Amino acid sequence: MALLLEDKVAAVFAAGGEVGSSVSRVLAREGAAAFLSGRRLAPVESLAKEIRDAGGVAYAAEVDALDEQAVDSYLEKDVVGRAGRVDIVFNAIGVQPVDAGYGTPCTKIPYDRFLLPIATHVGSQFLTSRLAAKHMQAQKSGVILMLSASVSTDARLFMANITAACAAIEGMSRSPAAELGRSGISVVCIRPRAMAETRTIRQTYEVNARTLGIEPEAFARAVRDAAPPGRPATTLGDMAEMAAFLASNKAGTLGGRAVEV
């Protein structure tokens, strides 16, 4: 049986983190040649070796996904230069909850901390998408998979900045979806709900609970209780499997949408 992403070339930015590595493994398992990059080389090299040891194809590089020149050069020389094309781009960049001031009421969060997730998440998603699109336009095909989160539509305490960032990513994706769709390129957002197994969500629960004066587990339980009835928690595995589907030819009608996991 053919693999979902057989003969595809995928560029994954911020591949060394929990989200990026989970998606990278599934993309490679489904047949994509995985070009993995991150701001720190060691975890990306380790992931590439893991994928190769499992029979996949993977290459590692050190790339800052907020550096336009570095991203452009990487796509031009490392990815397209070696593979001849780029079919999928996914960017898993994030910020640390403490650095971004999660857990701080909106009346108290400093302006620079409010802007940090917006500049990092939205700015980097724009850069990697725009620079990959140049190559996709030339080949008249490709999938740009942007990463959002359920806070884009949900009301959550003490998270005004990441809420704004995720809503902006989803809004930003719609215009390129309309423009690039004319060249056979699909632009789609993946919108996972809070993945409690990740360090980012655990730390977010901790700082939010501290602000409320309750235990982190009590805060996590409140989040779970607020979910729609019968909807299980999202896992990294759920999110990665959905990412592979959205990157495949089977999801061609979903361009311009945010798909919740």
Question: Which pLDDT tens digit goes with each residue over 17-72?
Answer: 999 999 999 999 999 999 999 999 999 999 999 999 999 999 999 999 999 999 99
Output the average pLDDT for the chain: 95
Residue 231 pLDDT > 70, yes or no? no
CA distance 165 to 106: 15
CA 9 from centre of chain: 17
Please give the backbone phi and psi of residue 260, each rounded to the nearest 5 degrees, phi first: -80, 140
Query: pTM, whole model, 2 decimals?
Result: 0.95
* pLDDT tens per residue, range 160-214: 999 999 999 999 999 999 999 999 999 999 999 999 899 999 999 999 999 999 9
pLDDT of residue 225: 79
Q: Terminus-to-terminus CA distance in the chain, angstroms?
A: 26
Spatial CB neighbours of 207, under 8 Å, sequence gap ≥ 6: 97, 98, 102, 103, 158
| Cα separation, 245 vs 198, whole angstroms | 22
Confidence of residue 227 (pLDDT cuts 50, 70, 90): confident
What are the C-alpha distances in Å from 111 to residues 107, 115, 160, 161? 10, 6, 11, 10
Q: DSSP letter for 10, please.
A: E
